[in-house]
């Protein structure tokens, strides 16, 4: 038996409520609105609320920074197997990825766990607009997405809740 934590109690109580009025049990697997969002895991960013997404609408691929390199596997599956036809890359202001360098995080892992992450790319960045441009270019250059697929870039402002366009 695994120990019940405070978090487990909270999420299971919330899920009981959610499931009690759940009516979307027969949605198809492919996203109905046929697009994919690649964005950061930051807890302040709620893509469903901020972008008006309902269950079944879109794929939201999240990781630290919303980096495309980390998301590529999922992008391919989303497009080739599940029919999505557009990508939005959304990074955000005050991102944690702006606060460290890959070399620093490698050192932390080494010091604290005697671990070796010499080959892990943590994909930190120093400019949020540039990281969006870099990721769009990365997806294009990867040649695993058809050239006609629209890929747009955005910065979500944690201060205002607004997304602003990044010109590529």
Interface residues toward Zn ion, by CB under 5 A: 40, 42, 95
Tell me how far, at minimum, the Cβ of 61 lies from Zn ion, in Å.
14
Q: Which two tokens stand for residue 155?
A: 């910065």
Residue 44 vs 73, nearer CB to Zn ion: 44
Distance of alpha carbon 80 from alpha carbon 156, whole angstroms: 27
Pure H helices in 43-166: 47-51, 68-80, 102-113, 128-142
Residue 95 vs 123, nearer CB to Zn ion: 95
Tell me how far, at minimum, the Cβ of 47 lies from Zn ion, in Å.
12
Residue 40 vs 123, nearer CB to Zn ion: 40
The size of the chain, in residues, is 168
Tell me how far, at minimum, the Cβ of 98 lies from Zn ion, in Å.
8
- Which are the contacts of 42, defined by CB distance < 8 A and separation ≥ 6? 92, 95, 96, 158
């Amino acid at each position: 038996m695994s120990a019940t934590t405070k978090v487990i109690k909270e999420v299971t109580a919330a899920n009981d409520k959610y499931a009690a009025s759940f009516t979307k049990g027969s949605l198809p697997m492919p996203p109905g609105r046929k697009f994919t969002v690649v964005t950061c895991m930051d807890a302040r960013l709620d893509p469903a609320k901020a972008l008006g997404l309902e269950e079944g609408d879109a794929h939201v691929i999240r990781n630290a920074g919303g980096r495309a390199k980390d998301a590529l596997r999922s992008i391919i599956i989303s497009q080739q197997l599940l029919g999505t036809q557009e990508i939005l890359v959304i990074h955000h202001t005050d991102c944690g990825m702006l606060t460290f360098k890959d070399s620093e995080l490698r050192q932390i892992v080494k010091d604290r766990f005697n671990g070796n992450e010499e080959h892990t790319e943590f994909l930190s960045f120093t400019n949020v607009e540039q990281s969006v441009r870099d990721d769009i270019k990365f997806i294009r250059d990867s040649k695993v997405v058809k050239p006609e697929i629209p890929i747009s870039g955005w910065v979500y402002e944690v201060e205002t809740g607004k997304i602003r366009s990044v010109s590529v």
